[in-house]
Amino acid sequence: MKRLACVLLGLGLLAAACSSTDDTSPDTASDGTAQAPATEAAAPTTTAAPTTTAAPTTTAAPETTAAPETTAAPAPTTQAPAPATTAASTPKTTKAAEHAAEPIDRLSAAVLEWMDETGAPGVVLAVTRGGAEPLTFAWGVSDLATDTPMTPDHHVRIGSVTKSVTAAVVLQFVAEGRVELDAPVAHYLGDDWASGYEHAATVTVRDLLGHTSGFVEFAVDPRFFQLAAPRLNEPMTPEEILEFAAAYGPVADLGTERHYNTTGYVAAGLLIEAVTGNPAADEMRARVFDPLGLSHTYLTPSEFPPEPNANGYVGGTFAYVLGPILGLTGDNKISLQGAIYVDIGTMPQELARSAGWTGGGIEARIGDVALLIRGLFAGEILDASQIAVMTTGHPDPADNNGLGINTDEVMGLMVHSHGGGVPGFRTIAAHVPAFDLGIAITANLLGIDGDNDVDELLVTLAPILATMG
């Protein structure tokens, strides 16, 4: 992936900037005339989430942060560590503050340009180094109908980034001797776990995590949408997902051909529950969320985040396909920059927030997502031997896809990443071990052109982020 070269260059510089002996963050206070975006200052502790401490009243951001009418979307909302040497920022703009605002202005300009090109209503971004309190940003709106600004406090759906968590939990079981990677799944779930699937007796745990089970990717299959259309207001169980996939039959060679699918990770969730006797959500919280201090992360449909939740939209070819199959009407559509999008908020959510489960059901604040992707590979959740298995799990050594993670080496540096897409949202989360750096971006739009998706936005932003110490 050539685009990762640009990302690594930028993130390397960012890490160097973050490790500077000068811990003072940019002075974001303004006398009202400066063009720097509004900010909220959080307490300088690295153990509390940035949204748990109220900003000093002298530096609080104004209630409205909308950009001028000629701008495609509102200016960003940011949350950054407070200055280490002063209790509050000076009310007047200094030369240092003006200089510090320059990269933020460029960051905003790049994101707003991307939003204009893709039609994404809103974007949230978080960066953390060493597990420190993330620097978070938000642009645009969380809901087009109400024009509510997007903020880092909004919970977003991160889709298949969930798979990295599920894989990590299963690998913990492997280390504990409770699961064998190359044992048949039937050993844990019983012979009828995927009744009718011709490979049900021989699919292994490794096949589930490495996408070599041969299962169909139900999440993008028109036949699944036809099945789902009459029951959007009903939750879908993991057993129903497996029943659909088993009846569909294999779409790839078992054990050797990688065919990306969420079905295997839904089965992995059932494996977690069978091994422990506990809900998968409880195991994720006890084994990953709580150890990493993720107090704003939830696995639906077992648990749901409190307000505020960002609304999502579906556009592009996916919207044209999705609409007719699901029988959507004009009440479910909204116009944005001359294009028509499906408004996910106008649709029943029961099926949409249950089908992905351990393969795509996590909802979280963006700051938690950056902490999550970094934490999985920083020795707090998996040890070095477990990480080695996770990152080299595919039987083909030339394949850079592991078990629930993608690993690339560019210019001698390694990066772990996973994307996520569910109706309404696109996410990219990445970790650079050499710098102990985590970064996450989510846009509340699914159906973005693949050549300009959120990972391409990360490429664009990396050199700018590198200038923000």
> Do 82 and 185 belong to one domain?
no
> Do 235 and 372 belong to one domain?
yes
Q: How far is Cα 34 from Cα 162, in angstroms, rounded to an integer?
A: 40
> Do 62 and 171 belong to one domain?
no
> Do 288 and 174 belong to one domain?
yes
The dihedral sign for the CA sequence 452, 453, 459, 462: positive
Mean pLDDT of the chain: 80
| CATH number for position 241 | 3.40.710.10
Are 212 and 203 in contact by the 8 Å Cβ rule? The answer is no
Q: Pick the last residue of a domain from 393, 408, 423.
A: 408
Tell me the whole-structure pTM to 2 decimals.
Answer: 0.82
Q: What is the rounded (10 degree) CA torsion for 71, 74, 79, 83?
A: 50
> Do 249 and 370 belong to one domain?
yes
pLDDT at 248 over 70: yes
Residue found under tokens 């409205």 = 64
CB proximity list for 60: less than 8 A, separation 6 or greater = 40
Residue 464's pLDDT band, with cuts at 50, 70 and 90, is confident
Pick the closest to residue 296 from 428, 462, 136 (CA basis): 136
> Do 369 and 398 belong to one domain?
yes
User: Per-residue pLDDT averaged across 179-195, rounded?
Assistant: 97
pLDDT at 447 over 90: no
Position 363 scores a pLDDT of 98
Side-chain-side CA neighbours of residue 367 (13 Å): 28
Structural domain for 439, as ranges: 3-151+433-465
How many other β-carbons are positioned within 10 Å of the β-carbon of residue 71?
A: 14
Pick the closest to residue 440 from 216, 126, 230, 58 (CA basis): 126
Query: For 88-106, how does the pLDDT look when each residue is reduced to its tens digit (9 = 90+)?
Result: 333 344 454 455 568 889 9
Structurally, how many domains does the chain consist of? 2
Position 35 scores a pLDDT of 29
Is 428 inside a domain boundary?
Answer: no
Is 332 inside a domain boundary?
Answer: no
> Do 77 and 104 belong to one domain?
yes
Position 67 scores a pLDDT of 33
Q: How far is Cα 215 from Cα 183, in angstroms, rounded to an integer?
A: 18
* 3-state SS, residue 373: helix
Q: How far is Cα 37 from Cα 25, in angstroms, rounded to an integer?
A: 15
Cα dist from 90 to 77, 79, 115, whole Å = 20, 17, 33
User: Per-residue pLDDT averaged across 40-58, rounded?
Assistant: 33
Q: How far is Cα 371 from Cα 380, in angstroms, rounded to an integer?
A: 11
pLDDT at 311 over 60: yes
Is 427 inside a domain boundary?
Answer: no
Is 380 inside a domain boundary?
Answer: yes
115-124, 135-144, 316-325, 349-358: least confidently modelled range: 316-325
